Structure 1
Amino acid sequence: MSHDDLLGALDGTNPPVPPAPAPGGRPSSGSGARSSTAADQQVCSRKGCGHPAAWRLEWNNPRIHTPERRKTWLACEDHRDWLADYLQSRGLLKDVLPLDPTGTDTREKDS
């Protein structure tokens, strides 16, 4: 940005240009560009998939995470096996659980 552009942006005569969307047409994280419906809906983690998630794949990279740490990917019916195979082949997959739409943990608790 040139000196004149900066001054114009500050005085309102040259409004700043909004950032370009991230590659692939998805807003970059932290851009605030997600719609409220997209933010509320849990979608599959497979790149390019926008289907509703039905499964929770819990994983952990033992080289960088403590043993009890769990990261989560969400999967639709079509991509559950693909994502699980991807994690399993790298020794990262810990568990595949149904996704409870209420957001509560579906694992059985010890009584």
Structure 2
Amino acid sequence: MSNEPAEAALSCSAKGCRAAAVWVLAWNNPKLHTPERRKTWLACEEHREYLGHFLGVRGFLKETVPLTEWQAREG
């Protein structure tokens, strides 16, 4: 038996939400980050649109992709 902790499930970034994440919202703040830099928020189905809108109205949202696709890209 391993003494290493089990990998924690990825949960939604919405305040107070503990649902499993299924989406990645990649964003950056052009006043703070270089154009190629991507910060990420995770979202469950329920909060994907809300979080996307929050980032979108500020001009921060760059892309929204399924978590499995993002993980495959990142290796």
1:42 aligns with 2:10: yes
Distance 1:92 1:85 in 2: 10
Percentage of matched positions with identical amino acids: 50
Return the offset for 1:52.
0.1
Of Structure 1 and Structure 2, the greater strand share is in 2
Alignment partner of 2:59: what SS?
coil
Please show how residues 1-111 of structure 1 align to structure 2 within 5 Å: 36=5, 40-100=8-68, 103-105=71-73
CA RMSD, aligned part only? 2.0
TM-score (norm 2): 0.85
How many pairs were matched up?
A: 70
**Structure ID, larger Rg:** 1
Unaligned runs of 5+ in 1: 1-35, 107-111
Return the offset for 1:101.
7.9
Q: Per chain length, whose mean CA-contact separation is higher, i.e. which structure has more relative contact order (CA < 8 Å, sep 6+)?
A: 2
Distance 1:85 1:41 in 2: 25
